[in-house]
Amino acid sequence: MSTFSAIGEEREIDRDEYTPTVEPQPTWCPGCGDFSVLKALKQALPEVGRTPEETLLCTGIGCSGKLNSYLDTYGFHTIHGRSLPVARAAKLANPDLEVIAAGGDGDGYGIGGNHFIHTARENHDMTYIVFNNEIFGLTKGQTSPTSPKGHKSKTQPHGSAKEPLKPLSLALNAGASYVARTAAVNPNQAKEILIEAMEHDGFAHVDFLTQCPTWNKDARQYVPYIDVQESDDYDFDVSDKVEAAEMMRETEEALHEGKVLTGRYYVEEGRPSYGQEKRAIGEMPEEPLAERYWDDDYEWERSYDQFVGKHE
Amino acid sequence: MTDEELIWRISGGSGDGIASTSQNFAKALMRSGLNVFTHRHYPSRIRGGHTYTEIRASADPVRSRGDGYNFLLALGDSFARNPQEGAVYGNEEIKPLSENLDELREGGVIVYDEGLLDPSEIPNFDERVEENGWHVYPLDLRGLARDMGREVMRNTAGVGATCALIGMDLEHVEDLMRDAMPEKILDPNLEILETAYEQVSEEYDVDASDVSVPTGEHDETQVLVSGSDAIAYGAIDEGCRFIAGYPMTPWTEVFTIMAQNLPKLDGISEQVEDEIAAAALAVGASHAGVKAMSGSSGGGFALMSEPLGLAEMTETPVVLVEAMRAGPSTGMPTKPEQSDLEHVLYTSQGDSQRVVLAPGTVEEAYEQSRLAFRLAYEYQIPTILLYDQKLGGELVNVPKSHFDREPTPTLGKTLSEDALADEPHSADGKFHRFQHDVDDGVSPRSIPGQKGGRYLATGNEHDPTGHISESPDNRVAQIDRRLQKLEAIRADLDTEDTGSYAGPDDAEYGILTFGSQQGTVEEAVDRLNDAGVSVKSLSVSDMLPFSTEEVQTFVESVEDVLVVEMTASGQFRGLVQKNLGQYGEKLSSLLKYNGNPFEPGEVVDGFEAAIIEGDGDASGHQTTFVPAAGD
């Protein structure tokens, strides 16, 4: 038996394998968009051929963070905003793992915003799903970084004086090599986009519009949605950064005018992932570091032989 | 204080090569057969400002800076600000000479660069020279360097002059220059060194002072290493191949050594966006099966509180190092203090479930860095190595053989896929990663990618599979199990002998200290005993779980105890009292928090004033006495 025999295993995968028996039924509110993320993931993972035990799902805190309880893989339910640094280190330690990070708009664009920028910039080969419901749900309805200007809540009684953060544009400018937006109400597109994101060799950011029927009643349910790839009204090249940026700008402004645009916005093929970049400069081993600890033949270097002599 | 030691101080401006010159000279002294110990003093400034390094060299072992010093090489400060009246920093140009006079011993030697320094700017300079019996040698070091090479080589000229005046052969210095310098600058430097040596030998009576280089001999090969080197090498020898960090003085030294060396070992070093990320990356890498570390200094470590708590709750092994400097807030970035003790013990929410070790010497820094990894991985618990700017930066000679040990890259209680198959699983195949009833409280772990090892790690309280649970019974079982590990670690540490003793077993009085003050306190204990005072010391390393039994035995065995630490509020004494729960009337404090570590003489005088005379008034020192409770 090898060390990590779940990795690279070729077999048929049943989507029920991802459903835990302890708590098969999520506790999200009826009508919550989060159900769609779970469903799309359960559909996408078998299609990309990744089993529960070669997948590491790292989440943050919030309603979205409960995803780990409802998707049965290796999981790391971290702390608020910190799913990305945990996830990217796991990917560096063992690049053969399928690493997915997930969190909400508060988690990823607020408290974890700095990690979002830098993980995108570094272009780690991983997928990052942001459950964007434009509200803080678990703490009962406070204004979030993506809430529209003027949004009233218990903590913003006079309406938010801030412009909402624009996550697609932010991801693009930070350096993500795959940027898409999908919506809970569009399950087929969601599944397709998650498959593409996981298959993409680089940092894939998926802004997933997940309606919150409990705390964001005033907001749209993200219908009707328009797929920018399918609509004849939009024509742009997803591999062109300038055209992508313009389409993102239009999309992010349109959302607050009642128009829900979704689809792929930027896809950069061929750009080396962070792991590849590090290997190219000799700062990362060819073989997964995690395997070395199980290799009985590996001769562990000693500081005495390597470094101490120069201090003589 | 003996005449058989040389304490050589080189002073100048930050950026003038004081550090590299002194390091090479320390190595030359070591190679000549002497024991050496260095003490750095530098300002938190980009360029300029008063900086010096001291090298104490003796045939006998040296474990501390000395009391004052006996040889000054004062170079110019090439980045000194204009000394106009009202300048913020005063007349900076003269500082390499003027700022160092107070601590120069009687009969000491002064070599200064007369090309840059004019002692007539120092009030009463000539009178002070006369009063103290100093021997003064004004030399145009800059001019000499300029004539034969470049002005920056004046440090070399100063070293040449030093050698002539202390009777040291140039051989070891020249060898080192050949090792360290690229060819292009080697020849002019050698020429400058020799010329300075000859000029001084010819022009002056080099035997005028009593200050000379001692002679000594080592019975085995020595290496000159710092606490930061030792921590990094300890980590490497335990199989640590992943580090994540963000620069901050003085932790940057360990980070730099690891970042430069890990790629040579096919390891990974990550400089990341902040310290929250740095510690979270170490946790993520360890979770995925790699031995990992991070670290910072006070302010950066504050940001690590969250991932530290996550590691506690998820029982992810990780080593964090904390290099203390004077706080609060930005404090004094380049000055040592031990006042982050309570910070690392208690930061992060909930009951602390971590190990904190504070090594006292460079040798211990290596050993306890290894110990930190062993405990972290065997017991699945975050372990913090607490040290300070002093220990991190001081260079001492250590027998090379100290590092000649086998590597230990083991992951601790981590299961192979074969072993996993025999462990309890839920009906759906989920591995019981957090079992309630296990030896020592340590539940074996799996690594993502292993077949049959699937589980959830979460910062929420959780049941044996990792599933989030708020059941009271489970909560109590899990927290008791995690805390049980600390008892097992305490028993384990009792076999490690991390405590360091000095003085006679049956001494009347005691001194307690921790961390980097160990060597200084032990020298003070030797001197006090030489002077007929019956005293012994214990330097403690195990901050959490605390060496309660050992410390209690020590305190019980003496009449009075002075607790020596570099904090203003007596944090270590507080920790001792908290753990012992008694003896408050026996423990008084000697504190120092002015940015400089204790000198042995300050501990001697402070002890005599506090314990022998009882009033604590050690006049002339910047130390503070705090009497025992009820006194």
Q: CB atoms < 10 A from the CB of B614, how many?
A: 13
Q: For chain A, say whether B371 makes contact (Cβ under 8 Å).
A: no
pLDDT higher for A2 or B55? B55
| Residue of A72, A73, A74, A296 to mutate when probing chain B, most B C-beta within 10 A | A74
Q: Which residues of A touch B232 (CB under 8 A)?
A: 303
pLDDT > 90: percent of chain B: 87
SS3 call for B73: strand
Q: How many CA atoms lie within 13 A of B363 on its CB side?
A: 15
Q: Residue A86: is it exposed, middle or buried by C-beta count within 10 angstroms (0-12/13-18/19+)?
A: buried
Question: B277 CB near a chain A CB, below 8 Å?
Answer: yes
* A93–chain B Cβ distance below 8 A for any pair: yes
Mean pLDDT of A135-146: 93
Q: How much is the average pLDDT of B205-215?
A: 92
* B425 pLDDT higher than 70: yes
Query: What pLDDT score was predicted for residue B30?
Result: 98
pLDDT of residue B100: 95
CA nearest neighbour of A57 among A127, A130, A131 = A127
Question: What average pLDDT does range B278-290 have in this prediction?
Answer: 98
Distance in angstroms (rounded) separating the CA atoms of residues B60 and B74: 27
- Residue B88's pLDDT is 62
Closest-CA residue to B393 (of B66, B32, B42)? B42
Q: Do A56 and B285 count as a contact with CB atoms less than 8 A apart? A: no
CB contact under 8 A, B448 and A90: yes
Q: How far apart are the first and last CA of chain B?
A: 33
Closest Cα to residue B93, out of B102, B106, B84?
B84
Are B345 and B546 contacting, i.e. CB atoms less than 8 angstroms apart? no
Q: Which of the pair, B396 or A25, is modelled with greater confidence?
A: B396
What integer is the mean pLDDT of B30-37? 98
Record the tokens describing residue B154, joined without a space: 């004046």
N-terminal to C-terminal alpha carbon distance within chain A: 45
**pLDDT exceeds 80 at position A309:** yes
The amino acid present at B113, given as its one-letter code, is D
The string of pLDDT tens digits covering residues B37-90 is: 999 998 877 776 788 999 999 999 999 999 999 999 999 887 776 656 556 666
Q: Do A77 and B459 touch (CB under 8 A)?
A: yes
Q: What is the pLDDT of residue B2?
A: 43
Q: Is residue A218 pLDDT above 70, yes or no? A: no
* Distance of alpha carbon B528 from alpha carbon B535, whole angstroms: 7
pLDDT digits (tens, 9 = 90+) for A64-119: 999 999 999 999 999 999 999 999 999 999 999 999 999 999 999 999 999 999 99
The pLDDT score that the predictor gives to residue A1 is: 46
Backbone angles phi and psi of B14, in degrees to 5: -60, 130
Under an 8 A CB cutoff, do A302 and B405 touch? Answer: yes
Residue B380 has pLDDT above 90, yes or no: yes
CA distances from B361 to B248, B366, B377, B539 (A): 22, 9, 24, 10
B134-184: pLDDT as tens digits? 999 999 999 999 999 888 899 999 999 999 999 999 999 999 999 989 988
CA distance B382 to B162: 48
A307/B236 touch (CB, cutoff 8 Å), yes or no? yes
User: Residue A270 pLDDT > 50, yes or no?
Assistant: yes
Average the pLDDT over B468-489 and give the result.
97
| CB nearest B457 (choices: A76, A88, A282) | A76
Model confidence at A172, in pLDDT bands (50, 70, 90)? very high
Contact (CB, 8 A) for B389 and B334:
yes
pLDDT for B615? 76
pLDDT at B152: 87
Coil vs helix vs strand at A102: strand
Tokens 């996830």 locate to A87
Residue B113 has what pLDDT?
95
Residue B238 scores a pLDDT above 90: yes
pLDDT band at B620 (very low <50, low <70, confident <90, very high): confident
ipTM > 0.85, yes or no = yes
Query: Residue B515: CA atoms inside 13 Å, Cβ hemisphere, count?
Result: 29
Strand B456-458, strand A74-77: pairing: parallel
- The DSSP code sequence of B346-380 is H-SSSS---EEE---SHHHHHHHHHHHHHHHHHHT
DSSP state of B55: E
- Output phi, psi for B303, to 5 deg: -70, -20
pLDDT band per the 50, 70, 90 thresholds, residue A220: low
DSSP A125-155: SEEEEEEE-SEETTTTSEE-TTSPTT--BTT
Which of chain A's residues have a Cβ under 8 Å away from the Cβ of B288? 56, 89-90, 93-94, 97, 290
Sequence-separated (6 or more) residues with CB below 8 Å from residue B568: B339, B591, B593, B624
The per-residue pLDDT for B50 is 80
Question: Is the predicted pLDDT of residue B472 greater than 70, yes or no?
Answer: yes
pLDDT-derived band at A249, boundaries 50, 70, 90: very high
A16: chain B residues, CB-CB within 8 Å:
none
Which of the listed ranges A22-26, A245-249, B17-21 does the model predict with the highest average pLDDT? A245-249
Mean pLDDT (chain A, rounded): 95
- Whether residue B250 is preceded by a cis peptide bond, meaning omega within 30 degrees of 0, is yes
CB atoms within 10 A of CB B484: 15
A64 in contact with B, Cβ within 8 Å: no
Q: Verify whether the Cβ–Cβ distance A75 to B457 is below 8 Å.
A: yes
Q: What is the pLDDT of residues B91-115, one digit of tens each?
A: 788 889 999 999 999 999 999 999 8
Is B194:B170 a contact under the CB 8 Å cutoff? yes
Interface size A-B, in CB pairs within 8 Å, comes to: 234
Q: Give the dihedral sign, CA B611/B614/B619/B623.
A: positive
Are B456 and A68 a contacting pair at CB < 8 A? yes
Q: What is the per-residue pLDDT for A224?
A: 85
Given CB atoms, is A71 within the 8 Å cutoff of chain B?
A: no
Give the residue ranges of DSSP H helices in B402-471.
Answer: 417-421
- Give how far B288 is from chain A: nearest CA, Å: 5
Q: What is the mean pLDDT of chain B?
A: 94
Residue B1 has what pLDDT? 37
CB contact under 8 A, A74 and B428: no
Other CB atoms within 10 Å distance of the CB of residue B615? 9
